[in-house]
């Protein structure tokens, strides 16, 4: 009988450890440790930029910007481009964009005090015009 009590205590201790581990895992999954969302936002940015790049109307909006207006800031963006970016951006993120010449540095005037995720794409031509530009998308969590 004495040896069975020892085994029972070992099994009880084992199940107690498993229970403690389960509780710890639940706390970790509830957000005690921040999840890296960079892959998620980069995928969203790339999707938005590819849609602008492949949509003829949106691409023409970028290419038709007067070179003297470059770099084009968010508050001066063509309305259809601005609405497309806002529409495709998840509600937990804020995004701004810039259109610049290909060989120029394209940056925000003032960066928020948060992690900023940046993706850019080249928009170079349509059937009649060759006017290479870069569209740079800046996003951060609200």
Residue 34, classed as helix, strand or coil, is coil
d(C-alpha 73, C-alpha 77), whole Å:
6
Rounded CA-CA distance 38/31 in Å is 16
Q: Give 134's strand partners.
A: 100, 122
Residue 5 lies in a domain: no
- The DSSP output letter for 113 is S
- Kindly state whether residue 14 falls inside one of the protein's structural domains: no
Per-residue pLDDT of the chain (142 residues; tens, 9 = 90+): 556 777 788 888 899 999 999 888 887 776 655 566 778 888 999 999 999 999 999 999 888 888 888 889 998 888 999 999 999 998 888 999 999 998 888 888 888 888 899 999 999 888 888 889 999 999 998 8
Whether residue 26 is contained in a domain is answered as no
- Which structure tokens are listed for 47? 């999707």
How many domains are there within the chain? 1
Query: Do the domain assignments include residue 21?
Result: no
- Rounded to two decimals, the pTM is 0.71
**Alpha carbons 81 and 116: distance in angstroms, whole number:** 20
């Amino acid at each position: 009988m004495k040896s069975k009590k020892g085994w029972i205590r070992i099994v009880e201790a084992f199940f107690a450890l498993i229970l403690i581990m389960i509780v710890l895992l639940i706390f970790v999954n509830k957000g005690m440790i921040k999840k890296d969302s960079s892959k998620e936002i980069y995928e969203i940015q790339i999707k938005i930029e590819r849609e602008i790049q492949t949509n003829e109307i949106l691409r023409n909006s970028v290419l038709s910007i007067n070179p003297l207006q470059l770099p084009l800031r968010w508050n001066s963006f063509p309305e259809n481009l601005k609405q497309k970016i806002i529409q495709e951006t998840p509600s937990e993120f804020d995004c701004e964009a810039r259109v610049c010449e290909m060989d120029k540095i394209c940056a925000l005037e003032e960066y928020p005090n948060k992690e900023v995720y940046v993706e850019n794409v080249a928009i170079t031509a349509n059937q009649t015009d060759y006017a290479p530009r870069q569209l740079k998308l800046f996003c951060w969590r609200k």
